[in-house]
Amino acid sequence: MSAKDVCAVASDSQEPVMNMGDNIKLYNKANVITRNDTQLCLQEYSPRFNWYKKNARILDVGSGDGSVTTILSTFLPSDYEVLIGADINPKSVKFANDNYGNKRIKFVQLDIAGTLPDDMKESFDHVFSFYVFHWIDDHHKAFTNIYNALQKDGEFFATFLLFSDIYLGMEMLAKTKKWATWMPNFDKFPSQYYDFHDPDVHVANMLKNIGFNVLDVRCKQRIYHYESIDVYKDILTAINSFDIPKDIWSEFLEESVQIKKDMHLVDEKGVKTRYNLMVIHCTK
């Protein structure tokens, strides 16, 4: 299976379109695919989770707007002590606390690929992460921090993108004269397995070398229908990492949709996207 790395780095534009960090409300509205896949994966895998002790402490890495953390909470045993959602973006953390926080669900700022705070070391019984690692460059550091955050016999479960035809469409635009100026260093997009053969083998070996007991690492081929072109445009806007001026952003969206139409991925059901999802399940 193959996956390829595509990226966006901000240019020197004086009038950039807002990036994902400034679109938390839009992301919350449009990011249905993450919530859908989280629900499906937890339905499949949660019977395999080992809740080996009461009053479990749980960490959700890359909690974003907080909606996925809330879905995760419905799959936890009723006696869990606390569920901490952690995200690098302070605006996401505030939005999540304001909209989803409660006595047992709290959100904090954390760079999982940075320095792990001492009070998080060996502090959690279970760590989860959904749709986050394709945004992270240093997987070894992030996985190591997760390993160190877990107590002995603790459990780690994660999903993230390897490939998406959205990447292909954006790559096609990035190669055109019109859009190349606004999409420099496109080859550094966070999903580092876009052009990888057997990424599951690579990730499994990395986890084993860190010290994890790998229970399952696999690639799942998926298809998802965004219910309308407008919803598809919303998610492109919410996750946008390119420094494209606001006054031409609508053109970028129209050309992105046209590429989907040329791929025969737009029909009466909406906009179809094909993608490969990595699923990780392991213990310490």
Residue 189: the pLDDT is 61
What pLDDT, in 10s, does the model give residues 63-91?
999 999 999 999 999 999 999 999 999 99
Specify the pLDDT at position 4. Answer: 31
pLDDT value of residue 188: 67
What's residue 21's pLDDT? 45
What is the predicted pLDDT for the residue at 261? 96
pLDDT of residue 1: 31
Write the DSSP string, the chain: -EE--------S-SSBPP-GGG-HHHHHHH-HHHHHHHHHHHHHHGGG----SSS-EEEEET-TTSHHHHHHHTTS-TT--EEEEEES-HHHHHHHHHHH--SSEEEEE--TTSPPPGGGTT-EEEEEEES-GGG-S-HHHHHHHHHHHEEEEEEEEEEEEEEEHHHHHHHHHHTSHHHHTTSTTGGG-S-TTTTEESHHHHHHHHHHHHT-EEEEEEEEEEEEEESSHHHHHHHHHHT--S--BHHHHHHHHHHHHHHHHHTT-EETTEEEEEEEEEEEEEE-
**What pLDDT does residue 245 have?**
93
pLDDT tens for the chain, residues 1 to 284: 333 322 222 223 333 333 344 689 998 998 899 999 999 999 999 999 999 889 999 999 999 999 999 999 999 999 999 999 999 999 999 999 999 999 999 999 999 999 999 999 999 999 999 999 998 989 999 999 999 999 999 999 999 999 999 888 989 999 999 999 998 877 766 468 877 789 999 999 999 999 999 999 999 999 999 999 999 999 999 888 888 899 999 999 999 999 999 999 999 889 999 999 999 999 99
Query: Domain 2-283 belongs to what topology?
Result: Rossmann fold (3.40.50)
Taking only the tens place, the pLDDT of each residue in 264-274 is: 999 988 999 99
